[in-house]
Amino acid sequence: MIHPTAIIDPTARIGEGTRIGPYAVIGAGVVIGADCEIANHVTIAGPTTIGDRNVFFPYGSIGQRTQDLKYAGEPTYLEIGHDNSFREFCTLNRGTAPGSKTTIGSHGNFLAYSHIAHDCTVGDHVIFSNNGTLAGHVIVEDHAVIGGLAGVHQFCRIGRHAITGGCTKIVQDVPPFMIADGNPAEVRGINQVGLERRGFDPESIRSLREAYRILYRENLNTRQALERIRETLPANAEITALLDFIEASKRGIVR
């Protein structure tokens, strides 16, 4: 299950059924769960903890030290959930401050050259298209889609079930359920196709479409738009999530 040319640090822990290919390097402090696939020439540095059934395609660089110039060598961490696919040349960095960590959830699909920088938090069921790139301290919520060649500025958030277009520049938060596209990004509408595919009921989609119209088409500022949404729309789970996300924004939302 481990190719003879692979280099495995004696302190690394490898789960049952995990396969490690030629010339892979597994460093000190790495914990890999069961039934993972580590392809040829993958490097995994520690401290990094990886769950079960993850697949790493060739030439990935996983758990390397942060690129933040403030880093002074303290122990920092990377944690990865279960059932993810990391295609060729993905790069995932550990945190910066002592004890900090970068966290990636489960069931994600990260295409070639995806980059997740230090201290990011990435949820479950996400998709990163080729060259999807996160700066430090970015939060990507569940079921979000990052378009190819899209770049997300540090400390931004991408809401759940949101999607960013290819080559999009994100410098503020993208509200959940929305489509953001452009350079700089603008919100173009709700992610209706994605919501339908994931089984959202028609009434919830209609409410989100109306919330989008109030936020982006009525020439209201954000505070006024939130008040109008509360006055006119039912407080279902989706509308509540949208309002909570916007009210928690520190960088403002993409308009």
Position 102: which residue type? T
Q: Of residues 119, 124, 173, 181, which has the active-site annotation? A: 119
CA distance linking residue 202 with residue 212, whole number of Å: 15
Number of H-type helices and E-type strands within the chain: 4, 27
In order, the DSSP letters of 126-153 are -EE-TT-EE-TT-EE-TT-EEPTT-EE-
Bond from prior residue into 176 cis (ω within 30 degrees of 0): no
CA distance linking residue 185 with residue 48, whole number of Å: 33
136 is catalytic: yes
119 is catalytic: yes
Position 219: which residue type? N
125 is catalytic: no
CA distance linking residue 57 with residue 208, whole number of Å: 38
Q: Of residues 118, 125, 143, 161, which has the active-site annotation? A: 118
Q: What are the residues whose beta carbons fall under 8 Å from the beta carbon of 114, sequence distance 6 or more?
A: 86, 87, 90, 91, 128, 130, 131, 132, 133, 146
CA distance linking residue 79 with residue 86, whole number of Å: 14
Q: Of residues 33, 60, 105, 136, which has the active-site annotation? A: 136
Handedness of CA 44, 168, 199, 197 (dihedral sign): negative
- Fill in the DSSP letter of residue 106: S
Alpha-carbon Rg for the chain, nearest whole angstrom, is 20
Please identify every residue annotated as catalytic: 118-119, 136
